[in-house]
Chains A and B, each alone.
Chain A
Amino acid sequence: MWTVVATLVPILATSVMFFGPSALLVTGAATAGALITEKVFGPRRSLLDGSGMITGLLLGLTLPAGLPMWMAFVGGAFSIGFGKLVFGGLGQNVFNPALLGRAFLQAAFPVAMTTWPTAQASWWQLRGDNLALPLFSARAPDVLTGATPLGLLKFEGETTALRDLMLGTTGGSLGETAGIVILICGLYLALRNYLNWRIPASIFLSVFLFVGVLHLLFPTQYPEPAFMLFSGGLMLGAWYMATDLVTSPVTNLGCWIFGIGIGALVVVIRLWGGLAEGVMYAILLMNALVPFINRATQPRVFGTARRTAS
């Protein structure tokens, strides 16, 4: 698990590069919330397994840079408390804890969760009211804000250049803007067999094919598939959220089904839903189906008939 934490460091560093000290404040607060909850309510020595750390960091990376720290802290505490510990701790949870925490924050603080600061004049400037007192909402930001690439597409009909999406010079959550860094870290984990490569592969494949067909049929109405792959939280979600070992299927065939389902849901939500971004809900929805996928894709035991006679 600590290897996964290590691969999150370059992603965090990239977000610090783009969002300044705010990135550290928000991620730090989310991680602190997660770790403290784990320490207080979790089983003994469970901090050492690293899973709380991963959840906190991942949650932090899905938050906007201007979010008040106390909100991030609450999100981290919710992730571990209600995302993991109430199910019985590590290995027992149904939903990805980090995404559950994010869904909670999205429902509780919709405005703060959708205010996206853009590049500022000074690197040191905070990207929003990070230091708002607990239970106070953020003051109106005195920083430049802008829409995310997906928001631009949805509400303005504009697409963003692929190069900006890959390098991360766009608006968005802390850790989701630099597609290329996530891609490299994720590939490393896949090569070391820390995650099942079939999940990101099937997500990308299904998104690419789905959007590709639409784009070929209606080039003006639907974006290019490469834009869909590198925009929003798809990279982070596909490599780090969907592949969460606990909440993804145990069988390889199940992983393909799981990934294809996520990809299809992402496209449906992004193109036809009311939201600009759908990775979070797509993964959470498919998480709920994992027990059924597991049951339906059990391997055929060596030396038993291909189909049972009954």
Chain B
Amino acid sequence: MGFWHSFRHGVHPPDLKALTAAIPIRRLPYPDEIVLPLRQHAGNPATPIVRVGDRVERGDTLARAEGHISAPVHASAAGRVTAIELWPHPDGTHAPAIRIAVERYSPQATRPRVIPEWEGLSHEELIAAVKDAGVVGLGGAAFPAHVKLAPPPEFPIDTLVVNGCECEPYLTTDHRTMVEYPERVQLGIRIMLKCLGAKRAVVGIERNKPDAVDAIRNTLPDDLDVSVLDLTVKYPQGAEKMLIKAVLGRDVPSGRLPMHVGVVVQNVASLATIAEVFETGLPLIERIVTVTGLGIARPANLLVPVGTKLRDLIEACGGMTADAREIVFGGPMMGMAQADLDVPITKGTTGVVVLSRAETRDQPSLPCIKCGHCLDACPVFLNPQHLGALALADRYAEMEQAHLMDCMLCGCCSYVCPSHIPLSQLFAASKARVRKLKVLAA
């Protein structure tokens, strides 16, 4: 039991998952147009290999990975490439994307493909297969999965930590994946353990998802050391470093990665996708998205072709209610507010939260009163109060010394601030600024 397993600090927002927690995943009909940004993952954007006017089948590669930390992009529906141009991106910018006019009445069949028998594949072949399928972490950060499968040999991995926390309020993507596809998650664990050469896997699931805990427990393999730990509900437990602390009690050093303490963390939905690659031979072209919030008429868990526009998603859920106010990609704590209904769902979109008037509040920020609540909330033990004051004064060098780069933008400080100071947002802007200054200096 994971009763005593947790991390220090953090916050307890209401989880608000009841809107969609019990709704089975359903498939979204193919929209008329699909827009696939070339940058849907951490690392280098993909390079297009199709041209305008080309006809593509569902599952065809449209853009290839550029370098090691990158991922290819595949067609999520059959159709014709109509443009490769700048298009609104969920991160708030305009970014290059491939637009595809989806063929009407198409069976959306894929080209005949050989499904590789994963057990017969070598380590390198497995990793290449995952890379070619464009699999990335589906928990939000969209880190290419094949990179995690191949840690450098000087860092032996002893444990795979499987992330089933889904600590963001509202979202039920991972929850439904665990309840409906526990065997896929288990197969994903099996493949990943083989790749890593790790001995054991621990699945961390927060206790507000008892049906998911049961589903995973009931499908545990006999021949592998896989265990389930039900964790107390606390935000941000799904953050890599916090989860490692909660499950294994290990501290990942500042500025290092989980592999430096012998751990790899992978999200349950990503594991299910890895398994799917070896079950169907299809690349990552669709994902589960929770569409929720009081601002949407019919909340749902949808299986969505990657590249579907937000507009189509909302329409499929009965449209927005009259008092809908804000749309957030991801959860309300770390998600990105959207300004355009044409933004596409990308590989990293975990959910769409349509907030109503009742769920949002205009809060003008007041002066900092140095109450110290943010220090008690910060899971990485920063001093957000001090950092916030430095950010407002543009003192970036001092912010870096005060460990700004350790901030993971979880939003706990903004959440507890009684003066409603947008601390986390300030830090996001400051981190971008520090990186830019570094590039300019180099």
Footprint of B on A, CB under 8 Å?
Answer: 49, 51, 89-92, 193, 196, 245-246, 248-252, 255, 298-304
Contact = CB atoms under 8 A, between A and B. Distances in A.
Interface string B357-383: 000000000111111110110111111
B413 to A, nearest CB: 12
Interface string B378-417: 1111110110000000000000000100100000000000
7 contacts: A245-B371, A248-B370, A250-B371, A250-B383, A298-B383, A303-B253, A303-B256
B318 to A, nearest CB: 40
Nearest to A43: B367
Contacts of A300: 381
Nearest to A89: B367
Nearest to B406: A301
A251 B253 contact: no
Nearest to B382: A301
A196 B375 contact: no
Contacts of B368: 91
Given A90-B366, A92-B367, A298-B383, A304 B372 contact: no
Contact of B369 (A246, A252, A299, A303): A246
Contacts of A301: 254, 380-382, 403, 406
Nearest to A245: B371
Given A89-B367, A92-B367, A250-B385, A302 B372 contact: no
Given A299-B381, A302-B241, A302-B381, A90 B372 contact: no
Nearest to B260: A303
A248 B385 CA distance: 14
Contacts of B256: 303
A304 B253 contact: yes
A91 B255 CA distance: 33
A252 B379 CA distance: 15
Contact of A252 (B254, B255, B372, B403): B372
A290 to B, nearest CB: 9
Interface in B88-140: none
Which among B251, B372, B379 has the greatest number of chain A C-beta atoms within 10 A?
B372
A196 B373 CA distance: 9
Contacts of B245: 302
A49 B364 CA distance: 12
A91 B372 contact: no
A115 B313 CA distance: 75
Which among B370, B381, B386, B403 has the greatest number of chain A C-beta atoms within 10 A?
B370
A228 B241 CA distance: 48
B252 interface: yes
Given A302-B381, A303-B241, A303-B406, A245 B370 contact: yes
A196 B372 contact: yes
B310 to A, nearest CB: 35
Contacts of A196: 372
Which among A90, A92, A248, A303 has the greatest number of chain B C-beta atoms within 10 A?
A303
A299 B375 contact: yes
B375 A245 contact: no
A288 to B, nearest CB: 15
Contacts of A302: 241, 245, 251, 254, 379-381, 406
B376 A303 contact: no
Contacts of A250: 370-372, 375, 383, 385-386
Contacts of B386: 250
A251 B366 CA distance: 21
Contacts of B382: 299, 301
The 10 closest A-B pairs by CB, nearest first: A250-B372, A91-B367, A302-B380, A303-B254, A299-B381, A245-B371, A303-B253, A90-B367, A301-B403, A245-B369
Contacts of B419: 91
A305 B139 CA distance: 29
B372 A303 contact: no
Interface in B408-442: 419
A91 B251 contact: no
A298 B386 CA distance: 10
A143 to B, nearest CB: 40
A285 B416 CA distance: 30
Contact of B366 (A49, A92, A246, A303): A49
Nearest to A195: B371
A245 B367 CA distance: 12
Given A299-B375, A303-B251, 5 more contacts: A91-B369, A251-B372, A251-B383, A302-B241, A303-B406
B406 A245 contact: no
B243 to A, nearest CB: 13
A252 B376 contact: yes
B288 to A, nearest CB: 31
A193 B371 CA distance: 10
A170 to B, nearest CB: 34
A237 to B, nearest CB: 19
A181 B376 CA distance: 29
A90 B369 contact: yes
Contacts of B380: 301-303
A255 B373 CA distance: 13
Contacts of A252: 372, 375-376
B399 to A, nearest CB: 13
Nearest to A298: B383
A70 B414 CA distance: 43
Which among A49, A249, A252, A304 has the greatest number of chain B C-beta atoms within 10 A?
A304
